Chain A
Amino acid sequence: MSLAIPFKPKPSILPGFGLSLGITLTGLSLIVLIPLAALLLRAASADPNEILELVTSARTLAALRLSFGAAFLAALLNAVFGLMIAWLLVRHEFPGKRLVDAAIDLPFALPTAVAGVALAAIYAPNGWIGGLVAPLGVKIAYTPAGVFIAMVFVGMPFVIRTVQPVLAEAETDVEEAAALLGASRMRIVFTVILPGVMPALLTGFVLAFARAIGEYGSVIFIAGNVPMVSEILPLLIVIRLEQFDYAGAAVIATLMLVVAFVLIAAINALQGWTRHRLGDA
């Protein structure tokens, strides 16, 4: 019963199983798995009372709310605009389309520190946009709104890139049939197009959400990092580390990982349900 043994391959004439397994497992263990295990170990060995106190402290809870809340809203906005832009790129022709398509990946390619200082400069009270809204009494940089803006930036390409191929493969016949049968444009969008792209849209949403929760570089410059107001969770980890409170940093990091994985699992379950339901329909 060879299948019962992990990493025992089905017979193949191709060589290199042992070597590639050795390199992969060594690299994965040394770089990723052992360090992450050290994190969990350190968090688990912290004093339970201290863990409870840290996790339920007002400052941690405020950062938790901001990180997850702003990331959720940013992913939501990216879902709406991502769907629209994917539609624009698949169904419309316009001059410079290839350039726009290539530029979509800029937030992936631009180092986060550069995005961070650029966004801070744009939305600061004396910046291009910050200066425009300042007379109206609106502040963007150094408030939760700034955190939101930065999270929209880093999550932007995900929905576009997951929805785009699905839209490109979708047949336009059904939409045309619906239009011929007299359906309004809004009705076509909500009953024909949206159900077809829903699983891809949710995937993109999860990726954008997860990225925004963990984001550090592009957020901290525009956030202003005011305790209880515009501090994100990753920043709290950095602050603990600067105080040499390794256990505290490990506890916050573990909290962040656990909450993120639970939320992502929940959305994935929702996605499975959507796909299942649409598959049956």
Chain B
Amino acid sequence: MRDLRLSLRASSGRSDPARLLFFALCFGFLALFLLLPLLVTFVEAFSRGVGVYLDSLADPDARSAIRLTLLVAAIAVPLNVVIGIAAAWLVARFEFRGRQLLVSLIDLPFSVSPVIAGLVYILLFGAQGYFGPWLKAHDIEIVFALPGIVLATLFVTFPFVARELIPHMQALGGSEEEAALMLGASGWRTFLHVSLPNVKWSLLYGVLLCNARAMGEFGAVSVVSGRIRGVTATLPLQVEILYNEYNTAAAFAVASLLAMLALLTLVLKSILEWRFADSIAAARGH
């Protein structure tokens, strides 16, 4: 059989034109859609020299955008972690009617356009929204302010943590937790010392993806933020503002920061996948 396999391999040898065409098409497509956009971002960012690049990032509006982006992620990601852990515990550890529906509803934000994710909060809290007049009377700002940006970010990142944790916790089963409880550990102690350590790498994986989306979200945030320079412009919105002003080098300088965030995310994600392949692969296989 071994000989047969070898001869099969040999029949599709390296010089085979069909095989070369296949390789050329695959790598051509990858170069066109992966390499080129990254390359152009950094080339354009440095097109007017390192000085202009650094100045663009030191600009007060750019720095305000960096601060706002970090702040929004710092609020939205932990909230999603709490909800994601609760949802995973609920779905993976209990059987109840409506469980499948609940899982579908948690995934719902993935199939809704980001623009609609922003729109729904305008309809609720905007000047002519359902709660608009009441908010105005009480001097509370949600839309075109930080709370709106956080809400829109929460919407688009809602499924990330739960969808990594649920399959992993389901694959592990609840027997270890049951054992801890029978041995007299309290519920919280069991959760903190048994459940969480078991899923820590998938949790980190979910947090990583959630954070990348939270910092990079454009559509939803653009609708609710009002894009006020230096006030409600996050990094992706700052890219748009600068680009529309034909300030290309500065736009790409800010964009290059986000591209670096994306590359860092991919590197960390790959490290997690390679080093903890067993625990994460168990979860991803489902």
Say if the beta carbon of A281 comes within 8 Å of chain B: no
Say if the beta carbon of B207 comes within 8 Å of chain A: no
Q: A20-B87, A250-B123 are in contact. Are A84 and B22 (CB under 8 A)?
A: yes
Tell me which residues across on chain B come within 8 A of A38, comparing CB atoms: 120, 123-124, 129-130
Return A201 CB to nearest CB of chain B, in Å.
Answer: 16
Q: Which of B108, B218, B258 contacts A216 (CB 8 A)?
A: B218
Q: Which of B94, B190, B259 contacts A114 (CB 8 A)?
A: B259
Q: Which of B34, B40, B114 contacts A217 (CB 8 A)?
A: B114
Q: In the docked arrangement, what's the CA distance between A105 and B243, Å?
A: 25
Q: A42-B123, A122-B37, A214-B112 are in contact. Are A117 and B129 (CB under 8 A)?
A: no
Q: In the docked arrangement, what's the CA distance between A246 and B98, Å?
A: 33
Residues 1 to 59 of chain B near chain A (Cβ within 8 Å): 4-5, 8, 11-12, 18, 22-23, 25-26, 29-30, 33-34, 36-38, 40-41, 44
Say if the beta carbon of A66 comes within 8 Å of chain B: no
Say if the beta carbon of B154 comes within 8 Å of chain A: yes
Q: In the docked arrangement, what's the CA distance between A234 and B123, Å?
A: 16
Say if the beta carbon of A213 comes within 8 Å of chain B: yes
Say if the beta carbon of A262 comes within 8 Å of chain B: no
Tell me which residues across on chain A come within 8 A of B217, comparing CB atoms: 111
Interface residue count for B (Cβ, 8 Å)? 99
Q: In the docked arrangement, what's the CA distance between A116 and B38, Å?
A: 11
Q: Which of A5, A112, A152, A165 contacts B218 (CB 8 A)?
A: A112
Q: In the docked arrangement, what's the CA distance between A2 and B141, Å?
A: 45
Residues 195 to 217 of chain A near chain B (Cβ within 8 Å): 210, 213-217
In the complex, 20 of the A-B residue pairs with CB atoms within 8 angstroms, ordered by the A residue number, are A8-B97, A15-B181, A17-B90, A23-B87, A27-B83, A27-B158, A38-B120, A88-B23, A103-B266, A109-B269, A112-B236, A114-B37, A117-B252, A118-B36, A176-B8, A216-B115, A241-B122, A246-B126, A246-B129, A249-B119
